[in-house]
Structure 1
Amino acid sequence: MTASDAPAFCVHCGQPTSGGTDHPACHNPRTALEPPRYCTFCARRLVVQVSPLGWTARCSRHGETASR
């Protein structure tokens, strides 16, 4: 991953992160269990599907991610 590929936005609120670290306002135990809502690269709203086995989140520009 290069510097231009580094995540620049919080996955929970879509606000810019500072220095590529977690967004401090959204770093709490409750949000750690939630699926992402915003793309980390472009801050677009994600299409999220939650199932009993996990979740998938899709950005129209950067593709799909899934829970592990």
Structure 2
Amino acid sequence: MTMTTETANWCDRCGEAAATGDHDACRAARALEPPRYCPQCRRRMKVQVLPSGWSAVCVEHGTHAAPR
């Protein structure tokens, strides 16, 4: 199952509400590292980093992988 592009309610790096606060540092960090939180439900995701990229799995919303 692959994650769909739904509206993100939560920051996928810090887990805080996406609509509040300043997430510039999160966006900058995300250029180099995988997401840690599901943007739809705020659950902590299982992340696997490989030399070829990364994948993150939310138990509710499925897998999200690095763009190729």
TM-score w.r.t. length of structure 1: 0.78
2:60 aligned residue: 61
Answer 1 or 2: higher relative contact order, Cα 8 Å, separation at least 6: 2
Please give the secondary structure, in 2, of the residue aligned with 1:15. Answer: coil
- Structure 2 gap segments, 5+ residues each: none
Please give the secondary structure, in 2, of the residue aligned with 1:50. Answer: strand
- Structure 1 gap segments, 5+ residues each: none
| Identity across matched positions, percent | 47
Give the structure with the higher percent helix.
1
2:14 aligned residue: 13
Aligned pairs, how many? 62
Aligned CA RMSD, in angstroms, stands at: 2.1
Provide runs of 4+ in structure 1 moved above 4 Å.
none
TM-score w.r.t. length of structure 2: 0.78
